[in-house]
Amino acid sequence: MKIKDAYVIVTSPGRNFVTLKIVTDEGVHGIGDATLNGREMAVVAYLEEHVIPALVGRDPQRIEDTWQYLYRGAYWRRGPVTMSAIAAVDMALWDIKGKLAGLPLYQLLGGKSRERVMTYSHATGSDIAACLDEVARHVEQGYRAVRVQSGIPGIQSTYGVAKRPGERYEPADAKLPAEHDWNTARYLNHAPKLFAAVRERFGDDLHVLHDVHHRLTPIEAARLGKEAEPYKLFWLEDCVPAENQQSFKLIRQHTTTPLAVGEVFNSIHDCRELIENQWIDYIRASLTHAGGITAMRRIADLAGLYHVRTGFHGPTDLSPVCLGAAVHFDTWVPNFGIQEHMPHETRTDEVFPHDYRFEDGHFIVGETPGHGVDIDEKAAARFPYQPASLPVNRLEDGTLWHW
Ligand code: CS2
Ligand code: MG
């Protein structure tokens, strides 16, 4: 069997998605997600210029060899563009392997470790009261775990909070980034009040999560972790930028608040020290950005040795293809923690028909062979690419900060 054809489909049903489709000479096809939010066309070029020419003619069943060929064979290793491209190939080949075997992906990985996959979603509000109402709405929908973010007095634009209810918090339709403002002192004074209010209204049973989005220094993160302890967070996410993995050592020495990190990671090397030193509790890398199922399995196995559990990134800027594959992975992985779930728009779901289901705060995996997600190319063609940028962040004096 040989790969006969491979091509990239870019579609924007609400936001941009990059999908790789691989077709075999026996007519079986598989798809993979290659979406890198705000840098979509760089991955398209990488796939079209460097990956697809190497795929045509290869045996689609040799997933491991193809992964190594694309990783080692490029000489230039790692990086989000390369690893998203490799991930898309990997996901599509696992999809094909499942179809050839007549088995859903979770069966190929080792079968079910659980019946359903716990998810968390986002409650955001312009202030604490509005955020609490959003938490209530999510609890009514069945969520057992909710991420809470609220506007901060004195800061105009806060991470995770849309300008108006129902809008996205990440402006996605401009070539140049929007500029946000940031003030660490105001944030640090505000965040514990939000956690206290959530616990007071919803009691102890709800899992409460919070995303700092890389804004703090290690000692500031340590202070927040300590002050959050009475409110028993499920996790504190991305409390510092993690290029310097040692930062987490300092935070860990000061607080028992569980720490999650990794949505911008693209390889096992980005998280090795964090995991081996048990400085974190949840690893958040995604199948799309960290090299696919083949690579993520190694990260999860390493994490398992050190009591670190998975908490995959699942924002709307990853396509249903990534989410579908993640639900299979989550159903199998022994050291599963939680799965992020930001519901896709209806038009996105229409472009990507899938068989995973959301029920009572959990995902239920489907039984379709492969990862169970396809692309309707006619529907995709109705939504052309829209250049889009993530925001940047500045301090009050104009210094560029982390967004
Ligand atoms: C966020 C993301 O889901 C999360 O935890 O941090 O929404 C993130 O801002 C986007 O995925 C950026 O592309
Ligand atoms: Mg995040």
Per-residue tens of pLDDT for the chain, all 403 residues: 999 999 999 999 999 999 999 999 999 999 999 999 999 999 999 999 999 999 999 999 999 999 999 999 999 999 999 999 999 999 999 999 999 999 999 999 999 999 999 999 999 999 999 999 999 999 999 999 999 999 999 998 888 787 666 666 665 567 889 999 999 999 999 999 999 999 999 999 999 999 999 999 999 999 999 999 999 999 999 999 999 999 999 999 999 999 999 999 999 999 999 999 999 999 999 999 999 999 999 999 999 999 999 999 999 999 999 999 999 999 999 999 999 999 999 999 999 999 999 999 999 999 999 999 999 999 999 999 999 999 999 999 999 999 9
DSSP H or E segment with residue 92: helix 80-101
**What is 338-378 written as a DSSP string?**
EEE--PPPHHHHHHS-B--EEETTEEE---SSBTSB---HH
CB burial of residue 178 (10 Å; 0-12, 13-18, 19+)? middle
Please tell me the distance between residue 263's alpha carbon and the centre of ligand 2 in angstroms: 6
Please list, in sequence order, all residues whose beta carbon lies within 8 angstroms of the beta carbon of residue 18, skipping any fewer than 6 positions away: 8, 9, 10, 33, 34, 35, 36, 40, 43, 44, 47, 84, 88, 319
Residue 166, pLDDT score: 61
Long-range contacts of 140-143 (CB under 8 A, 24+ apart): 141/361, 142/359, 142/360, 142/361, 142/362, 143/119, 143/361
> Cα(22) to centroid of ligand 2, in Å?
30
Does the beta carbon of 37 sit less than 6 angstroms from any atom of ligand 1?
yes
Catalytic residues: 159, 213
Name the closest-CA residue to atom 6, ligand 1. Answer: 213
Res 163: pLDDT: 66
The reported pLDDT for the residue numbered 165 is 60
Tokens 């028993």 identify what position? 232
Helix or strand holding residue 21 (H, E): strand 17-24
Q: What Å distances lie between residue 170 and 14, 37, 226, 286, CA to CA?
A: 12, 10, 29, 19
Q: Are 42 and 35 in contact (CB under 8 A)?
A: no
- All CATH 3.30.390.10 domain ranges of the chain, comma separated, are 3-104
Torsion of CA 353, 79, 403, 293, to 10 degrees: 30
Residue 318 CA: which ligand is closest? 1
108-370 in CATH: which number? Answer: 3.20.20.120
- CB-ligand 1 contact for 317 (6 Å cutoff): yes
CA of 50 to the centre of ligand 2 (A): 30
Backbone φ, ψ for residue 130 (5° rounding): -65, -35
Residue 54 is predicted with a pLDDT of 97
Do residues 97 and 61 touch, judged by C-beta distance below 8 A? yes
The pLDDT assigned to 172 comes to 58
Backbone angles phi, psi at 110, to 5 degrees: 140, 5
Query: Mutate which of 263, 288, 342, 402 to test ligand 1's pocket (most atoms within 8 Å of Cβ)?
Result: 263
Q: Is 227 in the pocket of ligand 1 (CB under 6 A)?
A: no
Asked if residue 259 lies in contact with residue 245, where contact means CB atoms within 8 angstroms, the answer is no
Query: Which neighbouring-strand residues pair with 364?
Result: 357
Query: Structure pTM?
Result: 0.97
Fold classification of 3-104 is Enolase-like; domain 1 (3.30.390)
Which pair of tokens denotes residue 386? 């829209």
Question: Which among 130, 132, 213, 136 is positioned nearest to 166, based on CA atoms?
Answer: 130
What is the structure's pLDDT at 174? 78
- Nearest alpha carbon, ligand 1 atom 8: 315
Q: Cβ neighbours of residue 389 under 8 Å, at least 6 residues apart?
A: 38, 171, 172, 174, 175, 176, 177, 178
* Pocket-testing residue among 84, 211, 341, 403, ligand 1, by greatest number of atoms within 8 A of Cβ: 211
Intervals of CATH 3.20.20.120 along the chain: 108-370
Cβ(256)–Cβ(234) below 8 Å: no
